[in-house]
Structure 1
Amino acid sequence: MSEFVCFRRDICAQIISGKSTSDIEKYLLDNFHLSTTEVNAVIQSIQRSLITICNQKWAKALRKQERFESQYTNWLNGEFKVLLPSCSTSTSENSDLNTSEDRGKLTKPYEACSESTRKRKNMELLQEYGMGHVHYAYVQGLRSMGENDEASIVSIMRNTEKEEKKVILRNILESSDDVLSYTKGEALCIYIY
């Protein structure tokens, strides 16, 4: 088996500049003269190991290029290695397996993921975009679904001081215990009269 080797810096530059997978594929094809099968193997390895680590280090450097370079110089100058599949002739069956749609691990919808996977994905989002962006996206999503009251409540709670939040929460929890429900007859009377 042959091996693909490059500096982490080369691939991380593509990742932190926001390049898509297809852009990285093109970069690999143009600069490293790999076959499509070899590029697929490198992309899978990048997706499995390098993207998450690079994004974490980028977030720790507060998304500043100079800070990223200075804090992680040794890591960036390290080698990124991938064992490439042997160059055997592929049958039509094998070439069907290497289409771009089948590359990488299939991801489940968020709702179908386990609690630990959801927490990990949430943390990745927070590290990638920051709390302010995630909060704003959530509020905007609520408003787009017509949930204006809930969006207002979330915004108020987010922008309230810590002690005031405790008071509001206590009031909500206490008031829910005091609510008396109507009997069937009383509820019917509301609609009749």
Structure 2
Amino acid sequence: MMEQGGQRRTAEWLVLAAFLAVVALVFQQIATSLTAQGAASGDPLSNSAMFPRLVAWVMLGLSALIAVMMLIGRMPRPGEIHAVDTTPDIPPEPEALRKGMLIGMIGAVVLYLLLLQPLGFQLATLALMTGLFALFGVRPWWRAVVAGAGITLLVSFVFEGILKVVLPTGVFGISLPLGLF
């Protein structure tokens, strides 16, 4: 039987491997399908590969930093962090509740990916963010909706308004009215 510290180290390496797999997939897609479509070169506004490439490079750099820290054993363990806790003693959430929240979060993201094209970015992201806020205990429900709408509009404005990325509009054709800005 593996001790808890060994399980934690294995989990850390698996998470790092997942991040590196995403980086590899992004670079593979840029080199194959985006290049074949002629969308991997040109000016920044017509270059669909620019933003994923930048994110992939940042992820690669952070992954390398984390790997080095893990190899030399400098990652702080939960008991090593010495912070002054001024909050009253609150019992930790039960393990079953944390697992349920994790499964709910994964399910919500999978459902989001399935509904992104048919519903469009605005509606699917609003539903995802509201659902995640509700899952993590934001009450009353209207606060979860307001927070979800705020994040959806902010992310949409950044991508559509600033980065000029065309987000899926879905069957309802919903997008930000950027002419108002």
Structure 1-normalised TM-score?
A: 0.28
Larger radius of gyration: 1
Structure possessing the higher relative contact order (Cα contacts under 8 Å, 6 or more residues apart): 1
What's the TM-score, normalizing by structure 2?
0.29
Q: Going by fraction, where is strand more abundant, 1 or 2?
A: 1
